[in-house]
């Protein structure tokens, strides 16, 4: 599986390492992804998602059902 958050759609970004002498070399900024299990009470089952830490905070604030519904509407959720 790629390094993509299944809720927010965050992906690696590209940038530069910049030395003291201002030399630039390419680098990647990877999202902080965690593999986490969430319980969906409406379906009475557990799902495992690869989510960013920002998505975990969003899920704890709004609930897994509302966040998954929003992610499906945006086209980010892939199960």
pTM of the model: 0.84
Are 36 and 60 in contact by the 8 Å Cβ rule? The answer is no
pLDDT at res. 1: 55
At 13-56, the pLDDT tens digits run 999 999 999 999 999 999 999 999 999 999 999 999 999 999 99
pLDDT at res. 76: 80
Domain boundaries 13-74, corresponding CATH code: 2.30.170.40
- CA–CA distance, 46 with 79 (Å, rounded to integer): 12
Please name which of 38, 59, 60, 56 lies closest in space to residue 47, comparing C-alpha atoms.
38
Q: Find where tokens 């965050």 sit.
A: 10
């Amino acid at each position: 599986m790629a390094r993509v958050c299944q809720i927010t759609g965050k992906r690696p970004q590209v940038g530069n390492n910049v030395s003291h002498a201002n030399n630039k070399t390419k680098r990647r900024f990877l999202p902080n992804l965690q593999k986490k299990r969430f319980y969906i009470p409406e379906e009475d089952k557990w799902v495992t998602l690869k989510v960013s830490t920002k998505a975990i905070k969003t899920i704890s604030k709004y609930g897994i059902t509302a966040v998954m519904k929003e992610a499906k509407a945006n086209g980010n959720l892939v199960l």
